[in-house]
Structure 1
């Protein structure tokens, strides 16, 4: 059973439900008043519990029976799925050019044809219209692909299933071949480095997706001192001009552009990268067989004429 990184009122309510306890009985187990428990649950994710309360909840979860732990894990996953779907539906409502892909169900945004300013020297380059995933491929997305095809799951999935607390984190430990197999299954493709960069910078050559100010707080990079991946929709203030998330930090993303035989470009930087390496104009590459805890991908689809 994966632990809880940070307890909020949301997780408290789910644990109480998994243990099938009344409010008063659960409060007694944690060592707080019933009124305090009600406050936690009503405030949900907006409240951060004190270290002593977090330790008490950690202990309670550890000592719970396996059935209760499994119920708690299932409730966490169901809650995350609902929240993920709500974010997707909101994106569809707010952007009339967004669509939900018929195979993998991911939200894709339109990148219109035209010139964009490429690279550190802002060279004008023409790119045909395409759609790109608004979010990187998550563990939940990748699990649907694994179940449908029997493809090998990533090495960090215990028992062949992603950890419950990584539901909406970018899938990592995937090679370029793994990413390409997912894209083929979904009827999509990996983006070229030019497509990826235009989606990140917009047509006018922003230095970062959000503008020209070097603000490390708008992305998950080494300077943020988080030390691991984060949910793909976390950085609301760091989206690109087209509404594309996580184009700086969190995880490097495979592209279809080759640098030499057997090597492909990576874009976007990761939680392991210093902010100075996060600008979308910068390039990186790796052998197609490389996989790491900071490497992921997203897909594109071309528009039919």
Structure 2
């Protein structure tokens, strides 16, 4: 279980896909060129259990990726076109950070080991804090599981990025850096949406946001990607293993063949050095495919010619 995204204890639910390839994906695209790059943590910042090393050479072919995370408006179009119901809606609840709960009377319980995460009945992609809240169209969609993201991709004729594609895109062509912009947080101003204050009780909101920010709130990286770190975690296609990097192929790695959790990347508005130092290019974590939380979303990549 990631410290930043709890894995709700839920029975298995069937994966229901949208009608394949019938939707229109409106998120602007950026092109990541063919390249070799060094993948992994070159600074020793990572949590050993996350398996951010060893640093290894990876070769990717050019691909198009969403400039931003998929927004509430984008996901709403999918739901309205297909009638899709997310895992959170089917289960009747999702995980909400305690300061973001809008309906305390709907709290069903706390997540084991992370008491600041509450299971809230009626929390879902359209109601991120609870049933009386309303998601904002230009914010990243959250409370979407890996299963839900896969359903959107099937409808839109897209797919989730591999971990290698995600990290390559996040780095923006700048080798070995901690963050998309460099190795240090800015001395003045803010470059991403993360926690400020004393976790988990006080977030000063000095960067302008307490929970999610609109998807274009901070400057993009050199490829034109917005908020690849901070704001919300993003699902990747790969199964997760902390040992995978030691055996990863050079060409277009796609993760282990099997697993129990899917990789997530980028950190979120809850990341803080004292708690979850994962708002970095190399940082990685995981969650079970049916898990949904208030800080977990996704972006997509275009299908290759062989996949189309």
TM-score, with normalisation over the residues of structure 1?
0.61
Counterpart in the other structure of 1:252:
233
**Residues 129 and 302, structure 1, Cα contact 8 Å, conserved in 2:** no
- Aligned residue runs from structure 1 range 185-224, under 5 A: 185-203=155-173, 204-215=175-186, 217-223=190-196
Distance 2:132 2:70 in 1: 13
> In structure 1, the residue corresponding to 2:25 is in which secondary structure?
coil
- Does the 8 A contact of 1:190 with 1:255 survive in 2? yes
- For 2:293, the equivalent position in structure 1 comes to 292
The higher-RCO structure (CA 8 Å, 6+ apart) is 2
Is this contact kept in 2: 1:131–1:303, CA < 8 A?
no
Distance 1:162 1:269, change over 3 A: farther
**Where do residues 272-283 of structure 1 align in structure 2 (5 Å cutoff)?**
272-275=270-273, 276-283=277-284
Measure, in 1, the Cα distance between the counterparts of 2:221 and 2:27.
17
Deviation of 1:206 (Å): 2.5
Bigger shift: residues 266-275 or 223-232: 223-232
Matches of 2:269 and 2:169 in 1, distance apart?
20
- For residues 1-305 of structure 1, the aligned pairs below 5 Å read 103-121=24-42, 122-152=55-85, 155-156=123-124, 157=126, 166-203=136-173, 204-215=175-186, 217-223=190-196, 225=205, 226-236=209-219, 239-259=220-240, 261-275=259-273, 276-304=277-305
Structure 1 gap ranges (5+): 1-101
Larger Rg computed on CA atoms: 1
**Structure 1 SS opposite 2:240:** strand
**Superposed CA RMSD:** 2.4
Give the CA deviation at 1:195.
0.3
- Aligned CA distance change for structure 1 residues 139 and 162 (closer, same or farther; 3 Å): farther
1: distance between equivalents of 2:24 and 2:132? 20
Secondary structure in structure 2 of the residue aligned to 1:166: coil
More displaced stretch, 268-277 vs 106-115? 268-277
- Structure 2: distance between partners of 1:162 and 1:194: 39
Q: Distance in 1 between matches of 2:218 and 2:63?
A: 24
Greater displacement, 281-290 / 269-278:
269-278
Residue deviations 1:189-229 (CA, integer Å, cap 9, x gap)? 00011100000013323321112222382000112733210
Counting strand residues as a fraction of each chain, which structure ranks higher?
2
Q: How many residues align?
A: 201
CA contact (8 A) 1:139 1:162 kept: no
Instruction: Give the secondary-structure state (helix, strand or coil) at the position aligned to 1:265.
Output: strand
Q: 1:300 to 1:162 in 2, by over 3 A?
A: farther
Which runs of structure 1 show a deviation greater than 6 angstroms over 4 or more consecutive aligned residues? 161-165
Indicate the structure with greater helix content.
1
Distance 1:123 1:293, change over 3 A: same
Give a deviation string over 1:112-148, Cα, whole Å, max 9, x none: 1111121113432101111100000000000000011
Alpha-carbon distance change, 116 to 135 in structure 1, aligned in 2, over 3 angstroms:
same
